[in-house]
Structure 1
Amino acid sequence: KIEVADYHYQGDGQLKNSVPQPETDQRLDTQGDKLMSRVIYRRIGDQQSIVAVHSIKTAQSGGVRWYEFRLDDQQNISLFQQGTYAPDSLYRWLPSPAMDKFGNIGIGYSISGEELFPGQRFTGRLAGDPVGIMNLKETVLVNGEASQTNTLRWEDYTQTAIDPSDDFTIWYVGDYLKKGASTYSTKIGAFRLQSVQSFEK
């Protein structure tokens, strides 16, 4: 058992009306009672890291809780750092993490609010940043153009993946609705985590 900071998962369980959207009373489910993205393992030299993320309730809305665990030479696991990314009153959920060859961490996620249509964004941290902080400026992958009104079930997954050609570029894919559409559109983007407060996109 590994102790982490207290939390309450976002949404109070599966298939709950949780996340607000503009121009409708229909709220979206966050699947907040479970890890929806795969847990990632990276070995960089002698450093072995495991990164996990999930959606939690915050004082104002909902945010992304993330953890980096480390394994020692005997394969004992311990918590190295953790944090919650929730810089404002918008809801962030269904996160997906990636770690590049330098140990930088990127996280993509869905985002919505009472005045923001559901879309996809991305944040990250450099390996040398102070522990527990996502220090890079939040970047928009795609802004939604409409609310989802036919069901509370929102996609289920976003996905990040490291490009094997350079072990540095992070690909991210997520869904959104175009204006007037009744089915999802998908947006795919690539990012490199380079310097504080910036992305190469």
Structure 2
Amino acid sequence: MNRLSALLLVALLLLALRAPTPAQADTTAYKCVSAQGQVVYQDKPCAHGQQQQTLQLEDKEPAPPPPASATDEAAPAATVAAAPAPAPLRTPPAPMYRCINAVNKNSYISSNGDPQPYYAPLAVTGIVPTPLGHTYAPPGRGAANAATIASHYVLVQDSCQAMTPQDTCSELRDEYDANESKLSRAFKSDQPPLLQREKDLLAQLNRC
């Protein structure tokens, strides 16, 4: 047997050995060398007088992948939606105060809840319950005159109360509307302070 025939025989033998078997066990092949040096591969032991060499051929098919569990199949559909980012907290507008004038009792809006005390004529404060002529008249000199009344002052202070954020925003909107009305009628030379006030009011309204 020539070398080409031996190789063809080996190939056929390997194909035969790789045929599926029920048990899928390892297969033993035999390499037989005759006294003349001829090499034969076969699936049975060599004849008497031949050199024999056994070969173990593995004929195992790859194991099938494990069946997907119900949890694995449902995993793509059970993607948890990302929680929405919390909305940033809006900083409330700067506090404003509703104040009462200590002299004339008129109300006004201020950013200062603790105004400085000031001197006011005692005659206009309403503190003295008796007539002015009796209060300011020097003893034994008759009725009081304007100079006598004007020389009497008393230290007073306006009272203020903090406004709620809702009331503050409402007041800011009213101020913005009033400023816009003035701006629409103002000459160009009078507009810079109104434009600055508009900018300041818009900055505060952005917090409302």
- TM-score by length of structure 2 reads 0.17
Greater share of residues in helix? 2
Greater share of residues in strand? 1
Higher relative contact order (CA 8 A, sep 6+): 1
Q: Which has the larger radius of gyration?
A: 2
